[in-house]
Amino acid sequence: MHRRDVIRGLSAGLVAGGIAAPFVSRAAAQSGKTLVFGGSVPLSGAAAETGLNVNNGYITAVDYLNEHGGVEIGGEKYQLKLSLFDDASDPSRAVTLIQRQLDEGTQFFLGSFGSNIVLPTAAVVERAGKLMVQTGGGSDQIFTKGYKNIFGMYPRASRQTRSTPEFFKGLKPEPRSISVVLTNDAFSKTSAQGMVNDCKAAGFEVLGTYELPEKVTDVSSVLAAIRAKTPDILACVTHDQDSLLIARQMIATGTNVKLLLQELGPQLASYRESLGKYAEGICVHTYWEPDAPFKGKFFPTAAKFAEYYHSKFTRPITYHVAGAAACIVTYILAMQDAKSTEPAKVRDALAKADYETFYGRIKFTPDGDGDPLLMGPSMAQVQKGKLELVFPENARTAPTIYPVPPWDKKA
């Protein structure tokens, strides 16, 4: 054999191998019955702190189900596999990553974290006729564009605070006024608008609505305005880092209200550690706690889920971890109902879903967001450094502290 023939043969082999490789690997995956979940998560960039929690939730569910022999769908056993990439909290990068996975044939997607990322990626997945179940985006815009294939574990933002006025009304002495602080992003704006509308409808006086830029470095002007016109309740529909900044500046400037509610932030152990005893009494909406009385298939209870999570990760657990794992559990339950992994059939099963799980009852509205009554948030309050459920009554683990003592009394 001549050297030229050897080179030719090798080249042909390499080219054929290169072209065939994706098909070979896909065929191998299918013969091994592997279900692949694609998507992106923010493991770096501004949303990385919660992004890491979401990612850990996905890993927890997949590892648990695989360790228990995989899942049975339509009489066949499947192992689960994650194909997630770091989108660096960048929506355009996330779209590129999702498009690449669509081109490679991924059928089932999990969500990133943050409405600003979920919104464009959901559009791409919907257009391709594939599915997405996500726990990272609550903005109304995700659920009001007529998408049929996008499902979210939260009610849309404007409905998330629907039960909040009822909580306020249960406080003694009953508060009369509220001010709302929000940041200029898709989630905060719609959620804050919902909060304002709900509170006005319930008869509360809204003293002020303060919109901050997306990147906040100082809230002294807003706090000066709040000190000049102090509401009973201050609600901050802001993200983790901004919530902490607001709380720290409130303490440092002696800006007191009877109750501080922050939509995101206090659910993180790092937030509570940073404020120490000053965190006492701050309220936060939460969608899940490890001691919640939820039971379901796969993870038998919320506590068992938390126990398994802690056996794998040292990072404190948050509701985002559980929500992410619930996305995968919901997918599998829908596939089992559909007895198929065909996207159209799974989509129909998801639309009809009504499942009891470790995360609570899962049922979507016709627009794909979580049912506001079944999947809406509970109210938690920081008490002795940990979160206690204070509303609704039937889930309460501790009475609400109200009015919360002024900051200098907590020192």
Partner 1 sequence: MNLILQTLADGLVLGGIYALAAVGFSLIFGVMQVINLSHGVIVVIGAYLALILSRLLAVDPLLTIPLVMAALFVFGYAYQRWLVQLAVERSSLLASMLLTFGVALMLRNILVWIFSPDFKTISPPYAFVHFHLGELTFDLVRVSALATSLVLLCLLAAALHWTRFGRIVRATAQQNLAARLCGVDARHVYALTFGVSAAFAGASGIAIGMVLPFAPPDEAFWTLNAFVVVTLGGVGSPAGALVGGLLLGIVNTLTAQYVGPAFPNATMFLILVLMLLVRPSGLLGNAFSPSR
**Interface with partner 1 by CB under 8 A: which residues?**
43-46, 48-49, 51-52, 89, 184, 210-213, 215, 217-222, 224-225, 227-228, 240-241, 244-245, 248-249, 251-254, 268, 270, 274, 276, 278, 407, 411
Cβ of residue 111: shortest distance to partner 1, in angstroms?
18
Q: Nearest to residue 324, comparing CAs of 48, 49, 40, 54? A: 54
Any alpha helices (H) in 220-281, and if so which ranges? 220-228, 240-252, 269-275
Q: For 67-130, list the strands marked E by DSSP.
A: 71-73, 76-86, 108-110
Taking phi first (over 0 means left), then psi (-120 to 50 degrees means alpha), and beta for anything else, what does residue 299 get? Answer: beta
Asked whether the beta carbons of 266 and 382 are under 8 A apart, the reply is yes
Instruction: In whole angstroms, give the CA distance from residue 67 to residue 395.
Output: 32
3-class SS of residue 380? strand
Any alpha helices (H) in 229-365, and if so which ranges? 240-252, 269-275, 302-312, 319-338, 343-351
Which value, in Å, is the radius of gyration of the alpha carbons in the chain? 23
Instruction: In whole angstroms, give the CA distance from residue 332 to residue 108.
Output: 11
- If the CB atoms of residues 49 and 388 are measured against partner 1, the closer one turns out to be 49
Cβ of residue 142: shortest distance to partner 1, in angstroms?
22
Cβ of residue 177: shortest distance to partner 1, in angstroms?
19
Instruction: In whole angstroms, give the CA distance from residue 261 to residue 241.
Output: 15
Cβ of residue 252: shortest distance to partner 1, in angstroms?
4
- If the CB atoms of residues 45 and 170 are measured against partner 1, the closer one turns out to be 45
- If the CB atoms of residues 1 and 411 are measured against partner 1, the closer one turns out to be 411
Cβ of residue 411: shortest distance to partner 1, in angstroms?
7
Residue 334 tokens, joined:
């829908």
Cβ of residue 217: shortest distance to partner 1, in angstroms?
6
- If the CB atoms of residues 54 and 125 are measured against partner 1, the closer one turns out to be 54
What residues contact 307, with CB distance under 8 A and at least 6 apart?
A: none
Cβ of residue 221: shortest distance to partner 1, in angstroms?
4
Cβ of residue 213: shortest distance to partner 1, in angstroms?
5
- If the CB atoms of residues 79 and 96 are measured against partner 1, the closer one turns out to be 96
- If the CB atoms of residues 42 and 377 are measured against partner 1, the closer one turns out to be 42
- If the CB atoms of residues 65 and 257 are measured against partner 1, the closer one turns out to be 257
Cβ of residue 144: shortest distance to partner 1, in angstroms?
23
3-class SS of residue 307? helix
- If the CB atoms of residues 274 and 340 are measured against partner 1, the closer one turns out to be 274
What residues contact 297, with CB distance under 8 A and at least 6 apart?
A: 329, 333, 355, 356, 357
- If the CB atoms of residues 214 and 356 are measured against partner 1, the closer one turns out to be 214
Amino acid at 127: R
What residues contact 392, with CB distance under 8 A and at least 6 apart?
A: 163, 167, 378, 379
